[in-house]
Amino acid sequence: MVRAVMPLPPPITREVVLIGGGHTHALVLRKWGMDPLPGVRLTVINPAPTAPYTGMLPGFVAGHYKRAELDIDLMRLARFAGARLIRGIVTTIDADAKRLTIAGRGELSFDLASIDIGITSENTEIKGFSEFGVGAKPLGPYANKWATFLASGGGPVAVIGAGLGGTELAMAMAYAMREAGHAHPVTLIDSASLTPELPLAARQTLRRALDAQGVDLKEGAEVAEITRDCVLLKSGEVLPSTLTVTATGARPWAWLQETGLKINDGFIRVDAHLRSLSHGAIYACGDCADLSHAPRPKAGVFAVRAAPILFHNLRADLTGRARRAFHPQRDYLKLVSLGEQSALALRSGLRASGPALWRWKDRIDRRFMDRLSDLPAMTSSDPRSDQRLCAGCGSKVGRVALDAAISDLPQPRDDVETAAGDDAAVLKVGTARQVLSTDHLRDFTNDPALLARIAAFHALGDVWAMGATPQVALTSIVLPPLSPRLQEAWLSEIMDSAGRAFESAGAQIVGGHTTQGAELTIGYTVTGLLSGAPLTLAGAKPGDALILTRPLGSGVLLAADMALKGRGPDLALALDAMATSQADAAARLGQSATALTDVTGFGLAGHLAAMANASNIGAEIWLEALPIYPGALHLAERGIRSTLYPDNLAAAALVAPQGPRTDLLFDPQTAGGFLAAIPIEQVDTVLQDIRDMGHDAAQIGEMRPASDGLTAR
């Protein structure tokens, strides 16, 4: 009989890196998701999980949009595209060697790269800017600072630079403060004059709009210094300002000068195909690019229209097809926000203004954002839509099946101290005790380095939970099909990230095993030394407080991410927590805990049940006290579940009211928090100590007499 064999996916042979999450790259991610190219891994590198949309910034500042409406969700787009998102900042590019450096992470090689990092309006040439000023670009830091400033009551504001961008922001900030009931002056300053690039009639319209918003315009005024509460002009005039924003034109990022790329006034020179004039494997687009064949002002419309060309040309280089040229239009529609819900429209010498034009601009902006958020549903034939197993917590087998499988294992030998349900084996080695544990994770993230770090801390959790000091780790890595060159590159990323994680815990990697399979899986076998008796599940007493050191909901967030139903910022917060060591929290708990475990695949209810059973007592959970990752409760309310949820629900005999908080008790956790029973008289001190370490710890209940069973209220 011939047995059918499931074929492996085609090997990945080339790496394409998108540096920056600008508008062009965001649109390329969407188009890539619609038509992925087999054998190519796509990576996008951006400091944050989102990127603000330029067109809606004045509306956000004025209060017409919420912050979430302003942000392009790059994490969600990357998941849709089958790409990895690295949250980081590129600091150098070796264009000749096709290699870049990410701050705090190291080097990354590429076959093709594209740069879309925008510009900055940070003006460090002005004395005091670094301490007291903020650039209007990059948009994210400015938007965050403005939101905090307005919420705190606002204050006098100064905008340096009376081009279109600075003029829009000055009116928007004045309008927002007036609507919020804050009577503070706003001053718009320029060393020349208001928007000299515009026709006279348009400038007159903007002057009237500035007057209507109460903005004081200072033309021909040169700034000497920015201080904490004012702007000093070279004329000697002092302008009050507790928020000073610079919008003094397009300034390139200084580090581009060191890349070896052909540069013009700091901007990357590209040809008609958007390729660097000096290095054909590197493209550039958006405001950081200088179009040698068709010079244009810096405007978002060109970035949007360049996206289909960049997408085509990247694929053309990978497949041997002909490239296409980018022909930007000479004239384009300018829609300028006037603070309130009114706009000025300019094109081909024509001018109009009013509320109807703001509504038109609003429709255009929302339509653009809808393209990047309303992503087509993946078809069942798409391998990325395979939801048979949620990858969170390694796609662990359910407790019922697992208990049945291990029920016939022989009793531990004399040199092994292991009670049923304990986190790890305890081996007697002479007079010493050594803890031994193993764990692994599937690729719930497309970033091997991040997965390696999270898997390391996930595996160390069992060692820490027993009060042991980590010693060594053996790796077990399953790589997806890769070319030999990329096997080396991926393994280097994984081992570097894992090595640093174990080193931070005082352990080191001493070897391991690698193989190839359908998808990336990373696991570790870890040992640790005990200086005394191990902390186990047994030992908790009625009246002990229950402490949890990390929020719940990682399983729901990962399941939502796989189904394109979550929010990137929420997932980013959870991933950051998972990638953070809990060694300090475990050490502090070890000084006081009567019982200790880490919450992983069986969920809080399953691990608490194991603790209660081992200690022969009951427990009560306080649902409202549970720390929960942002976004997880909303997803649970929508019925989002990890695939292990039904098994966890069936295995735990918990009496609890129905609701999303109860559902999260059965959510499998990846690199979850520690669950500890603490004598009640010590709980406040222990909680404060762990919170001071930076962990989101909370008392979530108490141990009860055995007759009370396991309950939640």
Cβ contact 588:693 at 8 Å: yes
For residues 42 and 15, give the distance between their C-alpha atoms in angstroms, rounded to a whole number. Answer: 6
DSSP state, residue 275: B
Q: Residue 405 and residue 626: Cα distance in Å, rounded?
A: 32
Q: In angstroms, rounded to a whole number, what is the distance separating the alpha carbons of residues 696 and 505? A: 20
Q: Is 393 a catalytic residue?
A: yes
Phi and psi for 287 in degrees, rounded to 5?
-70, -20
Amino acid at 442: R
| Percent of the chain as helix, strand, coil, to the nearest 5 | 35, 25, 35
Q: How far is the C-alpha of 398 from the C-alpha of 400, rounded, in Å?
A: 6
DSSP H helical segments within 289-408, as ranges?
A: 300-319, 355-373, 399-406
Q: Which residues contact 346 (CB under 8 A, 6 or more apart)?
A: 198, 199, 202, 333, 334, 336
3-state secondary structure of 231: strand
User: In whole angstroms, what is the distance from residue 244 CA to residue 230 CA?
Assistant: 8
Write down the residue that tokens 């804050």 correspond to.
182
β-strand pairing of 14-19 with 40-46: parallel
In angstroms, the CA 228 to CA 219 distance is: 22
Establish how many alpha carbons lie within 13 A of residue 655's alpha carbon, considering only the half-sphere containing its beta carbon: 7
Q: How far is CA 417 from CA 399, 427, 466, 561, in A?
A: 22, 6, 12, 40
Q: How far is 690 from 588, CA to CA, in rounded Å?
A: 7
Name the residues annotated as catalytic. Answer: 393
